[in-house]
Structure 1
Amino acid sequence: MNILALDLGTSSVRGLVLDADAEPRPGALARRKVHVDIGDRGSGTLDPAQYLACLVECLDELAAAGHLRDVHLVAVSAQWHSVVPLDPAGAPLGPVLTWLDTRPAPAPGSAGPADPNAYHERTGGWWHRGYWPLRLPWLRARCGSPIARFVGLAEYVLGHLLDTAPMSVSMASGTGLLDLRALTWDAEACELAGVRPGELPELAPTGWSGRLRAEHARRWPQLAGVAWSVPVGDGAASNVGSGCVDGRRAAVTVGTSAAVRLLHRLPAGEPLPPLPEELWRYRVDHEYVVTGAAYSSGGNLYTWAKRELRLPESPELHAALARVPPDGGAVTADPRLGGDRPPGFAPAGAGELRGLSFSTTGVEILAGLMAGLCRMVADDLTVLESTVERPMEVVLGGGAMAASAWWRSAFATALAPRPVRHRAEPEIGAIGAALVALGRVPEAGRLAMTDPLDEGHASQRSGAAS
């Protein structure tokens, strides 16, 4: 049995075929870069039609190469927090607002939750620009046409391909509108968002699966009748793909953005454990939750610095970075070029560099930015560890981490004395989504083979850091 895994990321759309143990089939990967429109005032949007076209191209490529034969299941990993307003016919009334967008703000005179701590415990989020309770009123005030309903990017894309596309509890938890225990839309959060009945997606029940629409089944006959599983939030999927599925292992993932997360079993309906005020909590599915912190900077730091500082191509750049100490050296940095993810409120453009001199090189500036992110992760990992009984092992993963041995060494330095390992496979999100769809989350720790950090250096893979 093969599994088609789709990764609906921020900087790219990817489709890959996995075997029954969720290991990638050689050569069965299609990838399309997507353009994120990032503006000076904090915008971060995607064109929904272009995004859908990129996914269709990936499926066409895999089908033409014969990779869709023997596919029995489709799994999806998708970016959290995105939202797009639709008209009554289901057409977008604007671009997709991604997690990168820092523009939404409360309307003048609007009040937040009655009890912010209780709200945070129930929803796992805050009354913050990164979540739908602030995003939806902001979008409504700026939309020139009446909005019929709101969906995330995953629901928009799958709504075009499948017979139905309800929102999974995993994707719903990233909106900030979901009661994580009851798995229903939270009444207070919906009131803050100003949503009316029918404006939010239907929530997918346990065991839901979708099928291709007839016209798409004719286009990809290999997928006709194949079950599509509900999407899994990208951070949750990455934890599972990294093998970090209990309180012994934390995942530090660096792709376009970055995050540190801990996953544990908490079936729907069970009481929610205390949640530190600095951390969020989302759903993996009806059985598991993931707790952590996220950052607007990750592989995009590497991409930005390489472009703007005109740094050399990868082999030469890796060699130059190897000569910089893993703590970043003399240059220190605040890497929040894109502002804060929740719960922080620093705007886009909050990044800083310190310790520059006329002898400072572009490579040292890059190293300072990368090391700055490592220190932010280390601080939040300490908070995350306060929720468990013992220090954790850390697994590094993600495309940017796979591309840079120096960054892995810098994280090991910042996270010491914790044991640090590396999951060298860059497609951890797609693999994790497949394991969730298969109901094999408890096995992920055994299936995800990690390397000691020195071996991880030797197995560095080529590719872009984003």
Structure 2
Amino acid sequence: MCAKYVAAIDQGTTSTRCIIFDHDANQAAVGQFEHEQIFPERGWVEHDPKEIWDNVRRAVGAALADSDIGREDVVAVGLTNQRETTIVWDKNTGDPVYNAIVWQDTRTTPICKELMGEDGPDKWQKTTGLLLNSYPAGPKIKWILDNVDGARERAEAGDLLFGTIDTWLLWNLTGGADGDEGNPAIHATDVTNASRTSLMDLRTLQWDEEICQAMGIPMSMLPEIRPSVGDFGKVRARGSLGGVPIRAILGDQQSAMFGQGCFRPGEAKNTYGTGLFLLLNTGTTPKWSDNGLLTTVCYQVEGEKPVYALEGSVAIGGSLVQWLRDSLQIIPNAASIENLAREVKDNGGVYIVPAFSGLFAPRWRPDARGVIVGLTRFANRKHLARAVLEATAYQTREVADAMVADSGVEITELRVDGGMTMNELLMQFQADILGTKVTRPKNIETTAAGAAYAAGISVGYWDSLDVLREQSAGETSWKPKMEQSEVDRLYAEWNRAVERSYNWEEDTEDSSAAL
């Protein structure tokens, strides 16, 4: 076989990467750039859409410059992205009307309370798979239309477009406001990202007109919904990858499922990124949760039935380490937290509950805020470092317990990925708290790999899903070592700590009680 490659554009919460993979799924080249985190008010989180688009172009250019690979050597591009993050822009100029409202943002809590009325947060759950809260994109669109001068009028006139990050990038990649050689830019999304808006019917895979009307969102703003693995046009001619077909789009957590080879019902993975995201493949029939989980589309190959998943989403994972580094300046870099935490034998009685944006799955408490409990004069920065890592494992345990309760299937192995999985102290503690084997693949960049796999299989670069399963096989595992009595004690104390975080934001107290 000639030396050909597949490129993945991985647009995440804190940075944008382009990773080019060879046929053995090895990384041949990487380009990466961080973007600014904007916090205009308490609970608000924003990104600059133009900065993100600029970083995509820079990352692609850097990846190609880092290697001897030319555009003619790349057979397909796959795109994966931070989900729920919402952009509204003018289709005539390409200018956003407001910053991107990030998935972590909680400003839409009052809107959600108004929309749910007496029906509660599960008002549309049987249709969309999601609870009505500040997490999905739909309420974020409504906020922009209600609060940006002239936005609603422009939207109703057909001048504004909505998209999650994938749609914004696809529209720009295929030509933007000017189109590409006379062809209009493609305004589309895939089923996985559409399932994160609270606007799509999970069964029909189409926008729900009744919900759009209830939120006051003109359907002319919404992108076309397409299968995850299929045709999304070509990169504009003037781009670094000009003319290369775009053959896959997946939300980042679904892309990680694809990259982990979780193609069979009952297979689960947890991604340790900015947040924590545990998904369980439930097959071609959606399964509704009674324990605080979300129902989502896992992926869809063009011409085939969609595959669904149960998901537990935790807002704060790796970003808690970032907070320790940047805000408290306790560690010089993220990697140093492991050595610092190893200098003490336990957490010294200290627990950190990182409810910076409320609590997501399975508790769904928008009224909660972050707390540190158990402090004594004995506690020091080493105990805080250990408590940060342990919080990640405890939150994963909460979601895993809910997933077992919903599915009735024990998780006998948890596949893990993301930067935090290089922390072996955390991985061992995770296995201990779960009582389950934890397995890390050789390539922990499974989010980008998933997008590459999906694009590659679409053009025949890889032959089958079975080939991808072999390439995503695990390399390193951890098994439980801790005594069960100690596990039970630690987890009980964690739950006591979480309860201390409740009812801090009084204006969300009523809605949080319903959640």
Q: Does 1:432 align with 2:450?
A: yes
* Match runs of 1:137-156 below 5 Å: 137-146=142-151, 147=155, 148-156=160-168
Q: Name the CA shift for 1:7/1:137 in 2 (closer, same or farther; >3 Å).
A: same
Q: Does 1:407 align with 2:426?
A: yes
Question: Does the Cα contact within 8 Å between 1:398 and 1:426 map onto a contact in 2?
Answer: yes
Q: Name the CA shift for 1:227/1:388 in 2 (closer, same or farther; >3 Å).
A: farther
Deviation at 1:40, TM superposition (A): 4.6
Deviation at 1:243, TM superposition (A): 3.1
What does residue 341 of structure 1 align with?
360
Q: Does 1:356 align with 2:356?
A: no
Q: Deviation per CA, 1:304-323: give whole Å up to 9, x if none.
A: 11231432556764323223
Within the candidate set 71, 84, 89, 2:87 is matched to 84
What does residue 199 of structure 1 align with?
221
**Tell me, what secondary structure is at the counterpart of 2:387?**
helix
Deviation at 1:380, TM superposition (A): 1.5
Q: Does 1:448 align with 2:472?
A: yes
Q: Flag structure 2 segments of 5+ consecutive residues without an equivalent.
A: 175-184, 301-305, 459-463, 480-515
In the aligned structure 1, how far is the partner of 2:278 from the partner of 2:440? 14
Q: Does 1:18 align with 2:18?
A: no
What does residue 313 of structure 2 align with?
294
Q: Name the CA shift for 1:274/1:109 in 2 (closer, same or farther; >3 Å).
A: closer
* Match runs of 1:76-115 below 5 Å: 76-89=79-92, 90-107=94-111, 110-112=115-117
Question: Does the Cα contact within 8 Å between 2:286 and 2:295 map onto a contact in 1?
Answer: no
Deviation at 1:226, TM superposition (A): 1.8
Deviation at 1:23, TM superposition (A): 3.0
Question: Does the Cα contact within 8 Å between 1:245 and 1:264 map onto a contact in 2?
Answer: no
2:207 corresponds to which letter in structure 1?
Answer: W
Q: Name the CA shift for 1:315/1:73 in 2 (closer, same or farther; >3 Å).
A: closer
Moved more, 43-52 or 440-449: 440-449
Q: Name the CA shift for 1:341/1:383 in 2 (closer, same or farther; >3 Å).
A: closer
Question: Does the Cα contact within 8 Å between 1:211 and 1:226 map onto a contact in 2?
Answer: yes
**Tell me, what secondary structure is at the counterpart of 2:226?**
coil
In the aligned structure 1, how far is the partner of 2:334 from the partner of 2:173? 38
Q: Does 1:175 align with 2:212?
A: no
**Tell me, what secondary structure is at the counterpart of 1:281?**
strand
TM-score (ref. length: structure 2): 0.79
Q: Deviation per CA, 1:41-86: give whole Å up to 9, x if none.
A: 1111100111111111111212334334511010111111011122
Deviation at 1:448, TM superposition (A): 1.0
Within the candidate set 351, 354, 358, 1:332 is matched to 351
1:351 corresponds to which letter in structure 2?
Answer: G
Matched positions, count: 441
Q: Deviation per CA, 1:104-152: give whole Å up to 9, x if none.
A: 1344854459686572132110111112332222221111122323211
Q: Flag structure 1 segments of 5+ consecutive residues without an equivalent.
A: 456-466
In the aligned structure 2, how far is the partner of 1:335 from the partner of 1:407? 16
What does residue 280 of structure 2 align with?
262
In the aligned structure 1, how far is the partner of 2:104 from the partner of 2:114? 25
Within the candidate set 416, 419, 428, 1:396 is matched to 416
Q: Name the CA shift for 1:452/1:194 in 2 (closer, same or farther; >3 Å).
A: same
In the aligned structure 2, how far is the partner of 1:133 from the partner of 1:42? 18
What does residue 208 of structure 1 align with?
231
Question: Does the Cα contact within 8 Å between 2:337 and 2:385 map onto a contact in 1?
Answer: no
What does residue 6 of structure 2 align with?
3
Root mean square deviation of aligned Cα:
2.6
Q: Deviation per CA, 1:76-100: give whole Å up to 9, x if none.
A: 1111101112235232001001111
Deviation at 1:436, TM superposition (A): 2.5
1:245 corresponds to which letter in structure 2?
Answer: F
* Match runs of 1:24-173 below 5 Å: 24-25=27-28, 28-65=29-66, 66-69=68-71, 70-89=73-92, 90-107=94-111, 110-112=115-117, 117=122, 119-146=124-151, 147=155, 148-162=160-174, 163-173=185-195
Question: Does the Cα contact within 8 Å between 1:335 and 1:370 map onto a contact in 2?
Answer: no
1:128 corresponds to which letter in structure 2?
Answer: N
Q: Deviation per CA, 1:332-364: give whole Å up to 9, x if none.
A: 121222323367554487111111112211121
Within the candidate set 279, 283, 291, 2:297 is matched to 283
Deviation at 1:154, TM superposition (A): 1.7
Deviation at 1:173, TM superposition (A): 0.8
Question: Does the Cα contact within 8 Å between 2:79 and 2:248 map onto a contact in 1?
Answer: yes
